[in-house]
Amino acid sequence: MSKEIPYKIYLEESEMPDSWYNVRADMKNKPAPLLNPGTGQPMTAEELGGVFCDELVKQELDNDTAYIPIPEEIRNFYKMYRPSPLVRAYCLEEKLQTPAKIYYKFEGNNTSGSHKLNSAIAQAYYAKKQGLKGVTTETGAGQWGTALSMACSYLGLDCKVYMVKVSYEQKPFRREVMRTYGASVTPSPSMDTEVGRKILEEFPGTNGSLGCAISEAVEVAVKSEGYRYVLGSVLNQVLLHQSVIGLETMAALKKYDIKPDMIIGCAGGGSNLGGLISPFMGEKLRGEADYRIIAVEPASCPSFTRGKYAYDFCDTGKVCPLAKMYTLGSGFIPAPNHAGGLRYHGMSSILSQLYDDGLMEARSVKQTDVFEAAEMFARVEGILPAPESSHAIRAAIDEALKCKETGEEKTIVFGLTGTGYFDMYAYEAFHDGKMTNYIPTDEEIAASLAKLPQV
């Protein structure tokens, strides 16, 4: 008989992982390398070093080392908010009357409100160690920018955030949190950069996009002495840092002899999903265990389920290297009524390769269904989820309801990446019945994909 399972499984600080796990080491088909858009050749460490910190370049390119030690300073920062709880969703199970057992790994119990802090502190730490003055980045809804501001403030690094203009205006509170942490926040596109000026000239009055903000942040980093660019998702290094989520989840499950049947995560650029599934995927790749692994994306930005696996630009301004990924095309921007986050046009190269190899599933969900799940979850589990995270909640509920039909007692684990305190406009639209769904047509996606670069 197994031990009684508490509502929240907390690991001891001493049980926190001391290394990140690099799933690439166990992949037979390695993720495709970043390419230099000029030459079409794989980016070298030297080329990448102009944009990223040296240590992060090493991590980006390392396809072989399975475990990379977490420096003590980062571990100490993690202790501010980690280990994060693995929660048994007893109340949700009761509400659904399902025989399924549902667990979620909750990453929202820190001021940045999401899992993004796990990589922000790592990237800021290596920048500091390299003697840099500061870092630049972009942010959409603001979770990444907030996380990076916190990390930089802790280490005394300057932090310049380019925030997608529409979010800058609609989410003044997010901006204010970043300012509390001493970051400078600029609405993008701005007149600060060449690429910003060019975009503003071409599209005056534009609301901005993530791809455009990336271009600006990269330009500023490359042109400023003592600065590098950092990114909160998509990259291999980010998935590496986020593996702390999966490692803790696995440790908590093993502590209570729980064997999950499926692992579910929301997917935008892949940072949370990649981190959560890494060690489970590792077991799967090594043939030690099998799990269903499910990526959940918005129907309005369906890169896995309707995109193409191809080399594409990471940003609108085309200043970044090319990445091979499931993509909707770098010009793709979800409809303005989309409020659920996860709006990046592409997907992590690691996850794209795993998906292409049939090692994981993907599905897309409509945003009104997502908010319905979010509200139900909030009411019974007491946590107000971020719209992003609620994509995973939706899929977990759907799977639990299937178990109710079949009577199967499956064990479902999902990632609850963050809280929705700064997304109340979207909740308001949902309450007022004003939230709509938009699903891009095949023609729209085809038109966007037609502009993929020729490699």
The footprint of a copy of itself (CB under 8 A) covers 6-8, 10, 12-13, 79-81, 91, 109-111, 113, 150, 153-154, 172-173, 176-177, 179-182, 375, 378-384, 419, 421-422, 424, 427-428, 431
Query: What is the spatial distance between Cα 417 and Cα 212, in angstroms, rounded to a whole number?
Result: 25
The nearest distance, CB 421 to a copy of itself, in angstroms, is: 4
Q: Which is nearer to a copy of itself, 10 or 438 (CB)?
A: 10
The nearest distance, CB 368 to a copy of itself, in angstroms, is: 15
Q: Which is nearer to a copy of itself, 165 or 171 (CB)?
A: 171
Q: Return the residue matching tokens 């940072």.
A: 271
The nearest distance, CB 404 to a copy of itself, in angstroms, is: 21
Q: Which is nearer to a copy of itself, 87 or 360 (CB)?
A: 87
Q: Which is nearer to a copy of itself, 25 or 155 (CB)?
A: 155
Q: Which is nearer to a copy of itself, 61 or 92 (CB)?
A: 92
Query: What is the spatial distance between Cα 343 and Cα 208, in angstroms, rounded to a whole number?
Result: 12
The nearest distance, CB 14 to a copy of itself, in angstroms, is: 8
The values of phi and psi at residue 18, to 5°, are: -100, -5
Query: What is the spatial distance between Cα 264 and Cα 296, in angstroms, rounded to a whole number?
Result: 7
CA 408 to chain centre: 31
Q: Where does 62-171 have alpha helices with state H?
A: 72-78, 90-96, 117-129, 143-155, 165-170
The nearest distance, CB 3 to a copy of itself, in angstroms, is: 12
Q: Which is nearer to a copy of itself, 11 or 210 (CB)?
A: 11
Q: Is the link from the previous residue into 71 a cis peptide, with omega within 30 of 0?
A: no
The nearest distance, CB 61 to a copy of itself, in angstroms, is: 31
Residue 186: CB partners within 8 Å, gap ≥ 6?
160, 161, 162, 163, 192, 216
Query: What is the spatial distance between Cα 315 and Cα 346, in angstroms, rounded to a whole number?
Result: 10
Query: What is the spatial distance between Cα 26 and Cα 176, in angstroms, rounded to a whole number?
Result: 42
The two tokens of residue 6 are 């508490």
The nearest distance, CB 142 to a copy of itself, in angstroms, is: 12
Q: Is the link from the previous residue into 85 a cis peptide, with omega within 30 of 0?
A: no
Task: Specify whether the CB–CB gap between 370 and 260 falls below 8 A.
Answer: no
Q: Which is nearer to a copy of itself, 9 or 395 (CB)?
A: 9
Determine the residue type at 274.
G
